[in-house]
């Protein structure tokens, strides 16, 4: 594992650990507190700080990629964008005829998961 990958792994572990701690703390605190809505809104957005730490780690790591790695990641990202984008758009029409509502909190994890799977298939094209 090269230095960039080691730093990326370390940064991800830190970001995910902070995310879990903040999310657990906020949920525990909010469930037992009577707060005005604006304070609740500030608290529930606190887990976005470690999410931004995760995004920063990805951006820094991507700068260490060569052209081929970058191309594979971009192709997989475009596949994920199209599949998840069109899929959620189509599902919006289905909600109009009675399908259960899709919570928007699931769109980013879905996008990241599809992007990860797409990388497997995209990488085959370059072998």
Mean pLDDT of 32-48: 93
In angstroms, rounded to a whole number, what is the distance separating the alpha carbons of residues 26 and 97?
36
Mean pLDDT of 87-95: 96
In angstroms, rounded to a whole number, what is the distance separating the alpha carbons of residues 26 and 114?
28
Mean pLDDT of the residues in the chain:
94
CA-to-CA separations, 51 to 6, 65, 72, 90, 96, in angstroms, rounded: 19, 22, 23, 27, 32
pLDDT at 1: 79
pLDDT-derived band at 87, boundaries 50, 70, 90:
very high
pLDDT at 71: 95
33 has a pLDDT exceeding 90: no
The single residue listed with the structure tokens 């525990």 is: 28
20 has a pLDDT exceeding 90: yes
Pull the structure tokens for residue 115.
């992007």
Mean pLDDT of 83-89: 96
pTM, entire model? 0.80
32 has a pLDDT exceeding 90: no
In angstroms, rounded to a whole number, what is the distance separating the alpha carbons of residues 112 and 31?
29
As a whole number of angstroms, the longest Cα–Cα distance in the chain is: 58
């Amino acid at each position: 594992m090269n230095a960039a990958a080691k730093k990326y792994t370390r940064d991800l572990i830190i970001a995910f650990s902070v995310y879990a701690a903040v999310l657990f703390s906020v949920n525990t605190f909010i469930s037992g507190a009577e707060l005005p809505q604006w304070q609740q809104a500030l608290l529930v957005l606190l887990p976005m700080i470690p999410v931004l730490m995760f995004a920063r780690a990805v951006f820094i790591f991507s700068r260490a990629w060569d052209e081929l790695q970058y191309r594979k990641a971009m192709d997989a990202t475009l596949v994920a964008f199209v599949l998840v984008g069109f899929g959620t758009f189509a599902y919006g029409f289905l909600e109009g005829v009675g399908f259960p509502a899709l919570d928007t909190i699931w769109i980013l994890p879905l996008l990241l998961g599809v992007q990860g799977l797409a990388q497997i298939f995209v990488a085959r094209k370059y072998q």
